[in-house]
Amino acid sequence: MGPINILHLVSFLDLLAVGLTYPLFSTHLKDLGASKFTIGILSSTYAGIQVLAGPIIGSWSDVRDRKSVLQITVILCAILYGLLGIPKSIIGIFLIRFCLGMCKHTQTLTKAIITDVITPKERSAAFGKSTAWGNLGFIIGPLIGGYLSEYPNGFMYVCLITSGLFILNLGITVNLPEEPTKKHKYDSLLTGIKTEFKKSLRELIEVDWKAHWVSFLLRFLFGLCSSAYFSNQVLYLKEKHGLSQKHIGYTISIYSSIGMIVALYLEKINSFYKNDRTGYQQLFHFFAIFALSFYFIYVSPNLFTYMLCLIPLAISSIVIRVISMDLLMKESNGVKRGSLSGASNSIMSIARFVSPLFSGIMVDFFGQSVILMSVLPATLGMGLSWYFNLKRKIH
């Protein structure tokens, strides 16, 4: 098996492992007595730690080598996920999640290794396949995790299986080739960390915010919508529709499957917008669908209606994610695309950090109505896209 196929397998097993625990975590915390605000804080903290730890792990892989760093982080994840099912206190789980946020960077490291071992022309296709394999893992994971959670101490068993998958991944990474040379060598880990943080800060400073603020704002609004909904999805399904953990896992898998199918046919969707050179018209339409999907999910009287609403939600989510990024790249005219991409990732990370925290506060006051929190940023995105599409037509 070649190195690229090994990396695709690692990506698949990584998100399969994560998908096992994802639909169970919020419910497990609630069973331990955590408030929805506390659950929101835990989600936000994990996202925030990942943002801060990213440059550290990246520079460490430059100083040492990517294969070794990948193996070390994978074995740490195996240990931490194995421990996650044991504590009966929120503080214990918080500490384990904090450590997981520091070392759970498998997807980032696999993409970095892909960049090292293939030519630039092949990267796009390799990244696409890696993402597809990862998505497949996230389709299967919730199915298995939801089923196993029905058993007594199900969460602990799921965590142990997750740990086992990381150990399996560790064995697979042994077959990756050794790095002959280090392309990005720093004198020390501390120097590497400083360099990476300066690079991240420079990416944000060097961005022409006046030229790109609309694209970044649309990306941020999309991130807010998605995070506000998905951070509350499990508890919403459990409380409003009375779903068991098993059926919640099935629901998440169905949504992921729809998203994967849409991604395969995205070019077909884009073909209806051949005259939309900027992408604003397409974003206007799909932000409108996004907002309406959240609203109809909130008012859905039964599970069947809810499942129907997932179809336009998945379609619009994929389209907005891709087209908003494409809009940003078009506006760059080929200049500083790397900086724009890095800044975009930072903007999305901020949204993933802020949204669960605020939705955690809101859900304690408004209950299931917190789903409507996703409607507002989606509506703002729709209005912004409409305005700039109209402005383009006038000019």
Instruction: Please indicate, yes or no, whether residues 214 and 202 belong to a single structural domain of this protein.
Output: no
The pTM of this model reads 0.80
What is the structure's pLDDT at 200? 59
Instruction: Please indicate, yes or no, whether residues 165 and 53 belong to a single structural domain of this protein.
Output: yes
Region 172-185: mean pLDDT is: 72
Instruction: Please indicate, yes or no, whether residues 373 and 231 belong to a single structural domain of this protein.
Output: yes
What is the structure's pLDDT at 49? 87
Its domain, for residue 129, covers 1-175+192-206
What is the structure's pLDDT at 156? 93
pLDDT surpasses 80 at 281: yes
pLDDT tens, position by position, 40-91: 888 888 888 887 787 778 777 777 788 888 999 999 999 999 999 999 999 9
What is the structure's pLDDT at 47? 83
190 falls in which pLDDT band (50, 70, 90)? Answer: low
Region 94-110: mean pLDDT is: 90
What is the structure's pLDDT at 90? 93
pLDDT tens, position by position, 2-16: 888 999 899 999 999
What is the structure's pLDDT at 172? 95
More confident residue, 348 or 223: 223
Q: What are phi and psi of 207, to 5 degrees?
A: -65, 135
372 falls in which pLDDT band (50, 70, 90)? Answer: confident
With respect to residue 159, please indicate whether it lies within any of the assigned structural domains: yes
CATH number for the domain including 255?
A: 1.20.1250.20
Region 140-150: mean pLDDT is: 90
pLDDT tens, position by position, 212-221: 889 889 999 9
pLDDT surpasses 80 at 230: yes
Instruction: Please indicate, yes or no, whether residues 226 and 197 belong to a single structural domain of this protein.
Output: no
pLDDT surpasses 60 at 373: yes
Instruction: Please indicate, yes or no, whether residues 257 and 341 belong to a single structural domain of this protein.
Output: yes
pLDDT surpasses 70 at 266: yes
- Domain count of the fold of the chain: 2
Instruction: Please indicate, yes or no, whether residues 241 and 96 belong to a single structural domain of this protein.
Output: no
pLDDT tens, position by position, 300-328: 999 999 999 999 999 999 899 888 888 88
Instruction: Please indicate, yes or no, whether residues 228 and 350 belong to a single structural domain of this protein.
Output: yes
What is the structure's pLDDT at 12? 93
